[in-house]
Amino acid sequence: MTSLAEENYLKAIYKLHEKTGTIVSTSALADSLSVSAASITDFVKKIALKKLITYEKSKGVKLTEKGRQIAINIIRKHRLWEVWLVTKLDFKWDEVHEIAEQLEHVVSDELIEQLDRHLGYPKADPHGDLIPDAKGQFAKSNSKPLINCTVGYKGKLIGVAEHSNSFLQYLTKSNLKLGDEIAVVAIEDYDCSFEVTINNKEKKLLSKEVVKNLLVAEI
């Protein structure tokens, strides 16, 4: 059985690899977990002995298949709990991450399968992140950052790449939510800000920082 700390390390390695597509450096892992580089090195060596990761001093760390499956299972539980907190307990999408961080370490597989069934087998969490199924398989995503779109593009907001409370609260204040239809009207060359219409009605000017974190899919 893996410890809570080991699960947190495995999840962090998985997410960093998912973002970069490369082997994860110990310095990047230290930044992600807010711990010292020395502590990271000591701990990854211990996890490597359990065959959950491979570690090379000059390169970094990589999940083994066993470690990857554990990480995906933690992510599955986290995202299912976020769905439950939002849909059943009326939490806002910027309030659920820390609570789900605690709930994701529940051991009972039976509980998680019952939770999945109770929620109607959701494919994505409240932030649009895909939820792996019981076999660790993710549905295929056709999303892309809005910043990669051109004038005339029309799509639906299906996720966000930034999960910080401040960003989610900004979107709420701006009345932007998952499911909204977004059409790109103009792009400012100087600062890459986007003029868009929301649901064929309201016009908005969105900064480069915002549009790079909005994930859309073509309608």
**159 found inside a domain:** yes
Which of 179, 185, 187 lies closest to 212 in space, CA to CA? 187
What are the C-alpha distances in Å from 56 to residues 53, 71, 105? Answer: 10, 20, 28
Chain-centre distance for alpha carbon 54: 24
End-to-end CA distance of the chain: 44
Which of the residues in the chain have pLDDT under 70? Answer: none
Distance, CA of 14 to CA of 17 (rounded, Å): 5
**CATH assignment of the domain containing 176:** 2.30.30.90
| Structural domain that includes position 159 | 144-218
How high is the pLDDT of residue 58?
A: 84
pLDDT one-digit tens code per residue, 36-88 = 988 999 999 999 999 999 999 889 999 999 999 999 999 999 999 999 999 99
Work out the number of other CB atoms within 10 angstroms of the CB of residue 197.
15
Q: Please check whether residue 126 lies inside any domain of the structure.
A: no
Res 38: pLDDT = 87
The residues that bridge with 10 in the sheet, in sequence order, are: none
Is 88 within the bounds of a domain?
no
> Is 0.75 topped by the overall pTM?
yes
Identify the pLDDT of residue 102.
Answer: 96
Query: Is residue 137 assigned to a domain?
Result: no
Q: How many domains does the chain have?
A: 2
Sign of the Cα torsion 84, 90, 91, 94 reads positive
